[in-house]
Every structure is written in structure tokens, then in C-alpha cells.
Amino acid sequence: MRIKARTSSFSSFVEGQTLSERLRRGRLPVDEALRVARQIAEAVEAAHAKGIIHRDLKPGKIKLTPEGRVKVLDFGLAKMEKSVRGGTAPASDPDAPTLKAETTQPGAVMGTPAYMSPEQARGQEVDKRTDVWAFGCCLFECLAGSKPFMGETVTDLMAAVLGNEPDWSALPAEVPRKVATLLRRCLEKDPRRRLRDLGDIALTLEDSTQSRQPGSIAPTTTETKRLPEPSKRPSLVFRLAPSIAMLVMAVAIVVLLIKRPVASAARASQIRSLSVLPFAFETQDPKLAGLGKWIPAEIRSKLGPLQNL
């Protein structure tokens, strides 16, 4: 915007406190931390969709409005110049000055040391995964009330970022397992193993928040149906199985006796004919009506080829 031949820029005023100011009073309750973190992830993901990498995400640049909305401020370090801020703020202070360099080039270190990714601390080229790391630092601080990496000097702090692991035991016990796993993936020192998409992270946090609500039902991919309980009374076929088995054995014995060569005419004359009568079941179960006819027919088919019968 030009006013009297002078170029000016304007930005909106966002009411509320920064996340850094809120954290000075202690950690956030888990539900509130997940809600705030989800909105941070959505905001930074919107910037990533436009090709913008924040590079300096930290609680001091996150505003919490009175309406409960989260605003991420001061995007990007496209023009990197020497810091105009001084002071002796501790290296781990979320309001510590942003380290800047003249131009974007390999070896240039920029950002706030406590929230720098390892590749950023080394001055290497960074992409949106460096924002994922900084997001993980913010989420850890919201949940634990302390920063994942600390040091008295910038050198000590960068050494902790490059070589130390966060104190995972500082996370409250009520933090969902899914969120704890997500946080570990955000703070992977190797960017190749780190989560890449803050949009997916926002969805995971939303699911975790909903699953913690009273009376909520965790989403599932398939509907679970309760199967009818099996009847404790055995079916009629199973109850008749021993009798049928004995009948089959008796038929088999008769067949063997007929097939064996007889020692004498008297013995051979003992079995010359065999009557197979229909079976009648005491029960009136219609399912067994066909069985009463099938058994005799099966027996006759087995005895038919015998020459001595």
C-alpha cells in the first residue's frame, strides 16, 4: 500500500496471549494441548500447501485468542538478515532471538535454537519436515510443561538437539499412546524417518481428541456385529451320531463275514440273506425324515455287489 509515495505494510492485531506466555503458568491439560496442537498443525499445513516453510515455529509466535482459536504468526525467513535483536536471553527461551544470516545458503544457521531441527542446526538445506520437528517441540512442551531439549548456552542446546533424546517420562500418563507415538515420529533426528505431513498429524490429533470425549465411540473401519450365542443344547444329529456309527460298524462286520471264504457248507449257509428295513426315529424332527430313508439305501448299495448274499 502506498501513502504519499511511500510503501507501507500493515498486519492485523491479534488479541490474546502467546502460547509461550500461557506455558509460563505450567503445562496444558491433555485435551487442551491436543486441541491447540491440532490448530497449529492445520495452520502450518495451510502454509505448506502454498509452498511456505515457517522455519521458526515456536510458542512465542503462536497466539491463543480469547475465542479459543490459535493463530500462527510471523511466517518465513525468506529474507535472512543479521539479527536485530540482542539481549542475554537463555538459549532455550522460547522468546530468544531468531538466528539469521544474510542469505539462504548452505551453512547458514537460522531459527530459535530450542526448536531447531538437527538439519537446521547443522546449517543444511531444510524443507517442511523442519516445521514438523518444531511442531513436535511445541507439542512436547504443551504436554510436559518443559522443553524437549535444553542447554545453558546456544552451543550446549544445539549439542542436545543433535545428540540427546527428550525425557519421554515427562509426558503425563494420560497422553494417548497414538499421540505419544506421533510425537516420537515428529522428533526423529533423521528427517527421512520423520513424519512429513502436518495435515495427517492434525487428523490424528482430532481422532485422539474425539476418542477422549465422554460417551464417544472410537471410529472403526468395519462394523462389529454381535454373533448369536450358540445353543448349549447339542443338535439332534450329534445326539444320534453314536447310534449311526454303531449301525455302520455292524454293517461293515456283516460285509466282512460274507466276503471271508467259508470253511464248510454249514457255515456258508448261515448268512444267505439279509433284510434292510427303513429306519424310524422317535423324534418328529422333519430334518431326520430323509435320513431314515438314506441309511437303508446306503446299506443296500454296499451289500448289493456281494455274490453270496
Please write the tens of the pLDDT for every residue from 101-138.
433 444 455 678 899 999 999 989 889 999 999 999 99
Confidence of residue 174 (pLDDT cuts 50, 70, 90): very high
pLDDT attached to residue 275: 72
d(CA 214, CA 99): 45
Instruction: Tell me the CA distances in angstroms from 128 to 18, 95, 277, one per residue in order.
Output: 23, 22, 86
d(CA 23, CA 37): 13
Please write the tens of the pLDDT for every residue from 193-226.
999 999 999 999 999 988 776 654 444 343 334 4
d(CA 259, CA 252): 11
pLDDT attached to residue 83: 33
> What mean pLDDT is predicted for residues 133-154?
95
Bigger pLDDT: 264 vs 75: 75
Please write the tens of the pLDDT for every residue from 228-248.
444 444 555 555 556 666 666
Please write the tens of the pLDDT for every residue from 56-105.
999 999 999 999 999 998 865 533 333 333 444 445 555 555 555 433 44
Q: How far apart are the first and last CA of the chain?
A: 116
pLDDT attached to residue 6: 74
d(CA 240, CA 274): 24
Bigger pLDDT: 277 vs 204: 204
The answer to whether residue 1 scores a pLDDT higher than 80 is no
The answer to whether residue 21 scores a pLDDT higher than 80 is yes
pLDDT attached to residue 14: 82
Q: In terms of Cα–Cα distance, which of 294, 296, 305 is closest to 251?
A: 296
The answer to whether residue 176 scores a pLDDT higher than 70 is yes
Rg of the chain taking only CA atoms, in angstroms: 40
Catalytic residue among 56, 95, 127, 285: 56
Give yes or no for a contact between 62 and 40, defined as CB atoms under 8 angstroms apart.
yes
Q: Give percent of the chain with pLDDT exceeding 70.
A: 55
Confidence of residue 12 (pLDDT cuts 50, 70, 90): confident
The answer to whether residue 285 scores a pLDDT higher than 80 is no
pLDDT attached to residue 80: 35
d(CA 233, CA 235): 6
56 is a catalytic site residue:
yes
d(CA 50, CA 56): 17
Bigger pLDDT: 187 vs 85: 187
Instruction: Give the per-residue SS3 of the chain.
Output: CEECCEECCCCCCCCCEEHHHHHCCCCCCHHHHHHHHHHHHHHHHHHHHCCCCCCCCCHHHEEECCCCCEEECCCCCCCCCCCCCCCCCCCCCCCCCCECCCCCCCCCCCECHHHCCHHHHCCCCCCCHHHHHHHHHHHHHHHHCCCCCCCCCHHHHHHHHHHCCCCHHHCCCCCCHHHHHHHHHHCCCCHHHCCCCHHHHHHHHHHHHHHCCCCCCCCCCCCCCCCCCCCCCCCHHHHHHHHHHHHHHHHHHHHHHHHCCCCCHHHHCCCCCCCCCCCCCCCCCHHHHHHHHHHHHHHHHHHCCCCCC
Give yes or no for a contact between 166 and 24, defined as CB atoms under 8 angstroms apart.
no
192: cell is 527421512
